[in-house]
Structure 1
Amino acid sequence: DAKVASDILNITLTARTVGEKKFPLAGVPYHAVDAYIAKMVQSGNKVAIVEQLEDPKFAKKIVKRGVVQLVTRGTITLPESLGKSKNNYLVAIKREQGIYGLAALDLSTGEFLVTDFDEENAVSLLEVELSRLKPSEILVENDLWKSLNIYSDMQLCTITYRDDFFFDSEQGKENICKHFNVLSLEGFGIGDYNPSTGSAGAILSYLKETQMRENFLNITKISPIISQDYMILDLSTVRNLELIENLRDRTEYGTLRQVIDNTKTSAGSRLLTSWILRPSLKHSTIQTRIDSTKELLDDSILRDEIRDILSRMNDLERLISRVCLGRSKPRDLLALRHSLELIPSLKTLLSQTKTSLL
């Protein structure tokens, strides 16, 4: 591990001699460890965090240590590794009787989504959804992934294989109901025993396995993706139209998102990205967005005041998630307090608007 870290992080490799054996070592400053962890994870590695589990004052011999967290591409919440306008999705896929169930979770924001594909072109629809989500990590059974034959950029996405029982729908329902403290999933608009239920349960099990904890207070709801409400944009269309990545070097320079993204918050930028990749087909939704845009366009003073407040607001979604996961730092708490203090002024301004979206 020390040799691997030395190569990836470009740090000095040392050694410690114990008896006649030499053990390689590589270290980084503790105050800068987050940046190094992010770099290791981005290179496709999983990083185990080991901490002291007892007070050295009361230790009889060697202080007890243990793994307290396993950081992976799909579960990382460090600001150094998360893009402002991009979600960091952990996706799970299950197939049952010809139906494909997909669940997606962004642990850094608490967004939890599920959907099922049972049409003849289910695999194509699944590939479209994966191209929209751009997951950082996919949980899937080995044979199923091979049969899907879906292209995945291994430099950007890690495929984590799990046995078939890991995606059991009945166990999945039990995991989800226990997490949300409910008896049925009907209130969320999803079926109790759909394949996507097994996928969602697999994600919760994986979180408990890697994060070494039972509760995730930042995950407050689970929402269905209703495919019929959105225009289908396949991977080729998204690429050729250069919606979020250009064809030349796959950056966002010159893309539609870069041109129209004048949002003031990270959450707003992520929402805009979602709207670009999922154009709504519902007349009421489209009309509401048009009415809201027109209202702000007509009232320039109100618009500027709202934008001024939003420009001073930090990424509330991710700040709250880090607090709920017990990974916040003093600067996160200060940023959270500063952002929360702005909300009353923002609510006062929005109360002057007429459209429901605002």
Structure 2
Amino acid sequence: MALSPMMQQYIAIKEQYKDCILFFRLGDFYEMFFEDAKLAAKELELTLTGKNCGQDERAPMCGVPFHSADSYIAKLVEKGYRVAICEQVEDPAQAKGIVKREVIKIVTPGTVTNQSMLSEKENNYLASVWRGKDKTALAYCDISTGELSATAFKTETDCETLQNELVKINAREVILSEDAAGFLDIDGLKKITNAYFNILNERYFSFEAAETLINHQLSAENASISGISRNFADEPELTCAVGALLSYLIETQKQNLSHLTQFNIYEIGSHMALDKATIRNLEITETLYDKKVQGSLLGVLDKTHTAMGGRKIKQWLREPLNKVGEINMRLDAVEELVNDVIMRNNIKEALKRIYDIERLAGRIACGNANGKDMVALRNSVFVVPDIKSELAGCESALLSDMGLELSDLSDIYNLVDAAIVDEPPFTIKEGGLIKEGYSEELDTLKLSIRDAQSWIAGLEAKERERTGIKNLKVGFNKVFGYFLEVTRSYYELIPENYIRKQTLVNCERFITPELKETESLVL
């Protein structure tokens, strides 16, 4: 027996994403079939059912509601699975035949962007490893914050150095070439880092493709490379590692990476190298036995008031400074903050009002932000001028430089404040997001819609009076839109301008040119 059209579509899409669990959107649910269903039912403790698909046996099936899918996706990703999100990409009312569906995103351990799936004070790094003849390169990125760093080191020390770097950044996922996988002790690295390792085809690490991707990212207006002075063209290993990272992100996110424009290239040895045993035994980020932050060095020192500060202090503890000049600059800044109690308290109170700007910017750049995110961004940048003002009078070089480099972001504040309502809806689809007065064109359209809705609301009473059809009704469905319904007993009163649209057992449905014109404004 032939498979049903829907199941044929499912299998065609699944064929392209064999290494993923496919969340296939059907109405208000994401459904999984066949082996994906068996696996998901086991891992998520779901009930395994079946669906008729045109074959003799029912296809194994399980599903989750789309509005609560994030928690289920998070559980699968936490276990190291890749999840492909397949959505309906056309209106079912306008579809001819089966609704078109496409995978809009692949969620992996290192590419999570959803706020509910991320730890507030922990970076979520995706790392890329390329092993050349003389050097091994490591690049890593947190797509939720837009951070991207890279380094290269001599191949003869690659295993130990790579292990220390992966432990330092606590990478969630590592992509590497087939060649690198053959030389490195992957099983050993898995045990030490607890990362998910993904071996990719060599095409991801193509130098020419990598160079093109990097040049594209660096062509953005605000793009820059910081850290040690290096030219990507002179570092083929770095180029391949960063290029593979960008290629993998584009493939999984299905969109551009406009917020990844700040590249930090650093030298191994610029910070103190701490291996996993040292970090664990010194209880730097968690206690030895309970694995809790409370009681560790981080638990004692972390008095930060922002998520960004929480991530930064953890990073500093994992990679302490080892250059005297940088250490003294930081100590001078700490001393000034300790001595100037008023300035310290003013900055602390301002920081309490700042949301996670890094991840807000990441969600906005990825197109995942909602109205509440925009208001949170507005409220955060509102206090930046206060912080800049406090830093302006500082004497220590580090704080003084921060004050000079910090933008007051007044243009962003003014734009969001002028455009977004103070109490925005949770989702953009609900409407009512833009303030009246921001866009004359939008205001005119809203007014037209309100007028059209009022006209339709009064149409039933108006037409009953005009035609004498006492039980005339104005109805709506997704197929025909708005229509006028007349029962058989009043057929002789039907006006000439009524256009027959559908005949039912006891009534007929009609439209009028004026009704269709008004409907186009409402729908």
TM norm structure 1 = 0.92
Go from structure 1 to structure 2 and tell me whether the alpha carbon gap of 1:8 and 1:230 turns closer, same or farther (over 3 Å shift): same
AA of the residue aligned to 1:190: R
Distance in 2 separating the partners of 1:35 and 1:235 = 30
Pair 1:248-2:289 in alignment: yes
Distance in 1 separating the partners of 2:66 and 2:193 = 27
- For these two proteins, the number of residue pairs brought into alignment is 355
Of 152, 166, 174, the residue aligned with 1:116 is 152
Equivalent residue runs for 1:156-167 within 5 Å = 156-167=194-205
Deviation at 1:310, TM superposition (A): 1.1
| Percent of aligned positions that are identical | 36
Distance in 2 separating the partners of 1:196 and 1:255 = 35
Deviation at 1:351, TM superposition (A): 2.3
Deviation at 1:353, TM superposition (A): 2.4
Q: Give the conservation status (yes or no) of the 8 Å contact 1:172–1:202.
A: yes
Of 303, 308, 311, the residue aligned with 1:267 is 308
What residue is the counterpart of 2:105 in the other structure?
Answer: 69
What residue is the counterpart of 1:203 in the other structure?
Answer: 245
Worse-matched range after superposition: 215-224 or 108-117? 215-224
> Max radius of gyration: which structure?
2
Distance in 1 separating the partners of 2:167 and 2:341 = 37
Go from structure 1 to structure 2 and tell me whether the alpha carbon gap of 1:268 and 1:186 turns closer, same or farther (over 3 Å shift): closer
Equivalent residue runs for 1:274-285 within 5 Å = 274-285=315-326
Structure 1: gaps (5+ residues): none
Distance in 1 separating the partners of 2:390 and 2:43 = 49
Go from structure 1 to structure 2 and tell me whether the alpha carbon gap of 1:24 and 1:342 turns closer, same or farther (over 3 Å shift): farther
Go from structure 1 to structure 2 and tell me whether the alpha carbon gap of 1:332 and 1:9 turns closer, same or farther (over 3 Å shift): farther
Distance in 1 separating the partners of 2:120 and 2:178 = 32
Partner-residue secondary structure (3-state), 1:105: strand
Go from structure 1 to structure 2 and tell me whether the alpha carbon gap of 1:119 and 1:71 turns closer, same or farther (over 3 Å shift): closer
Q: Give the conservation status (yes or no) of the 8 Å contact 1:229–1:282.
A: yes
**Residues 7-45 of structure 1 deviation map (CA, whole Å, 9 limit, x = unaligned):** 322333333334543233333333222222212211111
Q: Give the conservation status (yes or no) of the 8 Å contact 2:163–2:193.
A: no
Q: Give the conservation status (yes or no) of the 8 Å contact 1:85–1:266.
A: yes
What residue is the counterpart of 2:515 in the other structure?
Answer: none
Distance in 2 separating the partners of 1:112 and 1:186 = 11
Distance in 2 separating the partners of 1:212 and 1:350 = 41
What residue is the counterpart of 1:347 in the other structure?
Answer: 388
**Residues 120-164 of structure 1 deviation map (CA, whole Å, 9 limit, x = unaligned):** 433322221111011111111235224221421499421111123
Of 201, 215, 236, the residue aligned with 1:177 is 215
Please tell me the root mean square deviation across aligned C-alpha atoms, in Å.
2.2
What residue is the counterpart of 2:516 in the other structure?
Answer: none
AA of the residue aligned to 1:300: V
Q: Give the conservation status (yes or no) of the 8 Å contact 1:138–1:158.
A: yes
Pair 1:8-2:43 in alignment: yes
Of 56, 66, 80, the residue aligned with 1:30 is 66
Distance in 1 separating the partners of 2:105 and 2:224 = 33
Deviation at 1:279, TM superposition (A): 1.0
Of 330, 352, 355, the residue aligned with 2:371 is 330
Go from structure 1 to structure 2 and tell me whether the alpha carbon gap of 1:169 and 1:143 turns closer, same or farther (over 3 Å shift): closer
Q: Give the conservation status (yes or no) of the 8 Å contact 1:101–1:194.
A: no
Distance in 2 separating the partners of 1:227 and 1:345 = 37
Structure 2: gaps (5+ residues): 1-35, 400-523
Deviation at 1:104, TM superposition (A): 0.6
AA of the residue aligned to 1:172: A
* Higher RCO, Cα 8 Å, sep 6+: 1
Partner-residue secondary structure (3-state), 1:312: coil
Equivalent residue runs for 1:32-51 within 5 Å = 32-51=68-87
AA of the residue aligned to 1:53: V
**Residues 301-339 of structure 1 deviation map (CA, whole Å, 9 limit, x = unaligned):** 221221112122111101110110011233322322221
What residue is the counterpart of 2:236 in the other structure?
Answer: 194
Of 259, 283, 293, the residue aligned with 1:218 is 259
Go from structure 1 to structure 2 and tell me whether the alpha carbon gap of 1:249 and 1:194 turns closer, same or farther (over 3 Å shift): farther
What residue is the counterpart of 1:320 in the other structure?
Answer: 361
Distance in 2 separating the partners of 1:186 and 1:297 = 34
Distance in 2 separating the partners of 1:61 and 1:154 = 52
TM norm structure 2 = 0.64
Partner-residue secondary structure (3-state), 1:228: coil
Worse-matched range after superposition: 62-71 or 125-134? 125-134
Distance in 2 separating the partners of 1:275 and 1:92 = 22
